[in-house]
Structure 1
């Protein structure tokens, strides 16, 4: 009996960026055993070349690269692309993790890590990107909080009628907060329902950085900077504000 041919066009392609050959071999093997395809780059320049020529659906990116760092690469990519990024950082380097998440990374793992855990995280993010995991919205309705409107299923949000240009992860986070507008959503709930993980180690920094990035993006597009606020000991909430103009 022969194996059925693999349809490469429908198999997600993951870009692994690390200057250590042994590490890229380990990561590639772990991902390929889960049915994914991989391509490898040893530095930011090579990574950009592959992004221009290959249909990359996710990037596994090491922070410590020769020349331009992984954080710098992630930040520049976010100016033109929403491709998901999982950052690999050195154990204990909290500043790197926070800087990476602020720069636009969707998740991170600290070295040494379990290759299987990495593969599972990659699959979870790819499923969310494909729309198979959505923000809870039982009624399937558009969420409205005063001048804020969030259509999670349609992948859109607006403030006072002006569209907010938000990456996919930030949109899911905003939609989850908007679902309970005026009430604090616990950290654990956000991790489970936005990121699809029950892992809380490092989760506080991840959510905090994503909230900071979401606030900054919304402020640049006309929404108030204090629309999303931290509630000490409870989580985060979206404030319900009156519309600035009549509809």
Structure 2
């Protein structure tokens, strides 16, 4: 089976810039999803398995820097910031926010595409170091597959599934899963968030031939069920 396309999220409030960046990345082998504000970008980040984010610094309601910092709290996915300002202080602010690269507008689309590819190539070997297997389930640091078919998991869902696979045969407590998924052990709606994420995981695993995957242990947490049990 051929490797899946790399997926990039592009967040920019200018339609023309979205088109330019999307075209540049797609010529370099990426598939793209787009958003025009930080909150929509955040929601897509949580829903999609992403290999790269390209964020405009100046966004409505919340800045690209704020979104970058928010993502960095939970993920090491490569991030490129775009800005119309080229001062060194702005570049420093971007890198301090956790960005991997900082590109000043106007830019040559081909240069952006090559820099994007280089960043992903640089970071993916680190992700490939740790691979977990559980029956037909294969887990890498940045994606999961069943029977060779890649699952469309959010970064949170992938972290939850990884923690369950790492603890096959034991019940993983609620607070441990909350810490793995959201970097918190408790909080308003925490158990409900976890219940919803586990429901989505079960549904996606069942669709790929793993129908009985995660068992709820009443009052304690969740446990991964051995494949075909």
TM-score normalised by length of structure 1: 0.49
Q: Could you tell me which runs of 5 or more consecutive residues in structure 2 were left unpaired when the two chains were aligned.
A: 131-229
SS of 1:27's equivalent? helix
SS of 2:25's equivalent? helix
SS of 1:109's equivalent? strand
SS of 1:15's equivalent? strand
Does structure 1 residue 100 correspond to structure 2 residue 94?
yes
For 1:57-136, list aligned pairs within 5 A.
Answer: 57-131=51-125
CA distance in 1 between partners of 2:17 and 2:46 (Å): 24
SS of 1:10's equivalent? coil
In the other structure, the counterpart of 2:27 is 33
For 1:147-226, list aligned pairs within 5 A.
Answer: none
How far residue 91 of structure 1 moved from its aligned partner, in angstroms, is: 3.5
CA distance in 2 between partners of 1:92 and 1:86 (Å): 14
SS of 1:38's equivalent? strand
Larger helix share, 1 or 2: 2
CA distance in 2 between partners of 1:115 and 1:72 (Å): 25
How far residue 154 of structure 1 moved from its aligned partner, in angstroms, is: 5.6
SS of 1:130's equivalent? helix
How far residue 16 of structure 1 moved from its aligned partner, in angstroms, is: 0.5
CA distance in 2 between partners of 1:93 and 1:71 (Å): 15
Does structure 1 residue 56 correspond to structure 2 residue 61?
no
How far residue 94 of structure 1 moved from its aligned partner, in angstroms, is: 2.6
Please say if residues 89 and 97 of structure 1, whose CA atoms lie closer than 8 Å, have aligned partners that are also in contact. Answer: no
How far residue 49 of structure 1 moved from its aligned partner, in angstroms, is: 1.1
In the other structure, the counterpart of 1:22 is 16
In the other structure, the counterpart of 1:219 is none
CA distance in 2 between partners of 1:19 and 1:154 (Å): 36
CA distance in 2 between partners of 1:46 and 1:130 (Å): 26
Q: Which aligned segments of 4 or more residues in structure 1 are displaced greater than 6 angstroms? A: none
Q: Could you tell me which runs of 5 or more consecutive residues in structure 1 were left unpaired when the two chains were aligned.
A: 1-5, 135-152, 156-247
CA distance in 2 between partners of 1:89 and 1:38 (Å): 20
